[in-house]
């Protein structure tokens, strides 16, 4: 069932490349996404009038603190294509080379746009397949068997997304909530089986609970998934305690810090969690390095709302390259470590083994 031409290669939206061709890579971004299902009502009823207001300097502060209560903020799709292309060009100018687009089924990525954007900007883009969280799926998809879920993943990996011929190079972000639903458990197992069949890299979105990464890993590996060829996203907001982080890192999965640029402590989607700052993310990464896990670290921004794009006053896709890397160096993280995190680790993870 595997594609022999893909062994030891990386699948981009424009074709296969050798791992050595991949430069600095952000492993968790969204270039085309409809995140409207994330909407939450403002916590203060007097701000209900802000829900559909246009972006202005006057309301940017409110949007920054309430990003999921502003409906126009939740879509990076067709009207924003040129905005994204300009960001990708700027990313390339600042030394960026590639991005993994994590908008799986349920998040509505336009893979044809991803291919056009890659061709126009020279940024290598890796598209994803698999299924996002239960609440983003249609009732029809939620009833699919593991076999049917695997069939959809196989189609996207080997034949290309339906109607496009554009092949995906990653399974995920496989969306999980807490506690896991029956559909999400089937989705995890389908990812494991598909990885066995095709040697594909896998990436998970864990539920907002510190037990979630461990439970996902258990189900995934029991179904035959390979921890060493898989990533756990969003550890920034999930494994805050250092000892728990090191316990998880010891399980063999890549540890991803992918919310760089979010500097607002109030986390709307889980108010019990205080979102860390970039400085705290760097401190956690330094902890992983100091404990010999530098081969298992990946980083990104997970941009999925308009207010984080430069056009709307945000930090943009080049924030890590421009602002974070100098801060990392000031905190004792060497260029050798940075090359591991941004180049060597993504190369190894993204390479197909079958």
Phi first, then psi, for residue 320 (nearest 5°) are -60, -45
Phi first, then psi, for residue 100 (nearest 5°) are -95, 125
Give me the percent of the chain exceeding a pLDDT of 90: 95
pLDDT confidence of residue 150: 98
Q: What average pLDDT does range 180-191 have in this prediction?
A: 98
Q: What average pLDDT does range 168-197 have in this prediction?
A: 98
Alpha-helix residue ranges (DSSP H) falling in the chain: 57-65, 81-93, 111-121, 139-142, 146-154, 182-198, 212-222, 242-249, 278-290, 319, 325-330, 335-339, 345-350
Task: Report pLDDT digits (tens) over 272-295.
Answer: 999 999 999 999 999 999 999 999
Task: Report pLDDT digits (tens) over 38-92.
Answer: 999 998 889 999 999 999 999 999 999 999 999 999 999 888 999 999 999 999 9
Determine the structural domain holding residue 337 and report its residue range. Answer: 4-350
Task: Report pLDDT digits (tens) over 326-350.
Answer: 999 999 999 999 999 999 999 999 9
Mean pLDDT of all residues belonging to the chain:
97
Decide: 117 and 153 in contact? Cβ < 8 Å. no
Decide: 186 and 145 in contact? Cβ < 8 Å. yes
pLDDT bucket at 4, cuts 50 / 70 / 90: confident
SS3 (DSSP) at 138: coil
Model pTM greater than 0.95? yes
pLDDT confidence of residue 98: 99
| Closest C-alpha among 331, 318, 204 to residue 256 | 204
d(CA 103, CA 111) in angstroms, rounded, equals 10
DSSP H/E element including 172: strand 170-175
d(CA 101, CA 194) in angstroms, rounded, equals 19
pLDDT confidence of residue 2: 57
pLDDT confidence of residue 277: 98
d(CA 198, CA 153) in angstroms, rounded, equals 10
Q: What average pLDDT does range 241-255 have in this prediction?
A: 97
Task: Report pLDDT digits (tens) over 97-149.
Answer: 999 999 999 998 999 999 999 999 999 999 999 999 999 999 999 999 999 99
Task: Report pLDDT digits (tens) over 24-43.
Answer: 999 999 999 989 999 999 98
Residues in the chain, total: 354
pLDDT confidence of residue 45: 87
Residue 25 belongs to domain with CATH number: 3.20.20.140
pLDDT confidence of residue 343: 99
pLDDT bucket at 306, cuts 50 / 70 / 90: very high
pLDDT confidence of residue 108: 87
Q: How many domains does the chain have?
A: 1
DSSP H/E element including 53: none
């Amino acid at each position: 069932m595997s594609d022999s031409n893909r062994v030891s290669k990386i699948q981009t939206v424009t074709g296969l490349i050798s791992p050595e061709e991949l430069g600095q890579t952000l492993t968790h971004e969204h270039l085309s996404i409809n995140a409207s299902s994330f909407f939450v009502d403002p916590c203060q009823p007097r701000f209900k009038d802000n829900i559909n207001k246009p972006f202005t300097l006057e309301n940017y502060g409110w949007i920054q603190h309430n990003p999921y209560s502003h409906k126009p903020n939740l879509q990076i799709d067709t009207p924003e294509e040129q905005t994204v292309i300009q960001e990708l060009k700027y990313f390339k100018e600042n030394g960026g080379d590639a991005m993994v687009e994590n908008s799986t089924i349920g998040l509505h990525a336009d893979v044809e746009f991803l291919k056009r954007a890659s061709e126009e900007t020279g940024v290598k883009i890796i598209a994803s397949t698999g299924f996002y969280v239960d609440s983003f799926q249609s009732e029809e998809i939620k009833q699919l068997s593991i076999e049917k879920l695997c069939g959809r993943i196989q189609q996207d990996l080997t034949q290309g997304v339906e109607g496009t011929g554009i092949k995906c190079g990653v399974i995920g972000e496989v969306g999980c909530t807490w506690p896991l639903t029956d559909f999400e458990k089937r989705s995890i197992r389908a990812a494991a089986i598909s990885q066995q069949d095709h040697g594909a890299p896998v990436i998970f979105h864990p539920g907002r609970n510190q037990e979630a990464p461990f439970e996902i890993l258990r189900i995934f590996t029991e179904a035959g998934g390979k921890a060493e060829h898989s990533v756990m996203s969003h550890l920034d907001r999930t494994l805050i305690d250092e000892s728990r982080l090191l316990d998880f890192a010891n399980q063999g999965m890549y540890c991803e810090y992918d919310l760089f640029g979010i500097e607002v402590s109030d986390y709307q989607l889980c108010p019990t969690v205080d979102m860390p700052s970039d400085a705290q993310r760097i401190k956690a990464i330094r902890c992983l390095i100091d404990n010999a896990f530098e081969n298992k670290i990946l980083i990104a921004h997970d941009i999925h709302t308009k207010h984080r794009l430069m056009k709307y006053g945000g930090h943009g896709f080049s924030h890590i390259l421009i602002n974070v890397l100098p801060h990392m160096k000031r905190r004792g993280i060497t260029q050798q470590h940075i090359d591991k995190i941004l180049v060597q680790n993504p190369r190894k993870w993204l390479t197909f083994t079958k």
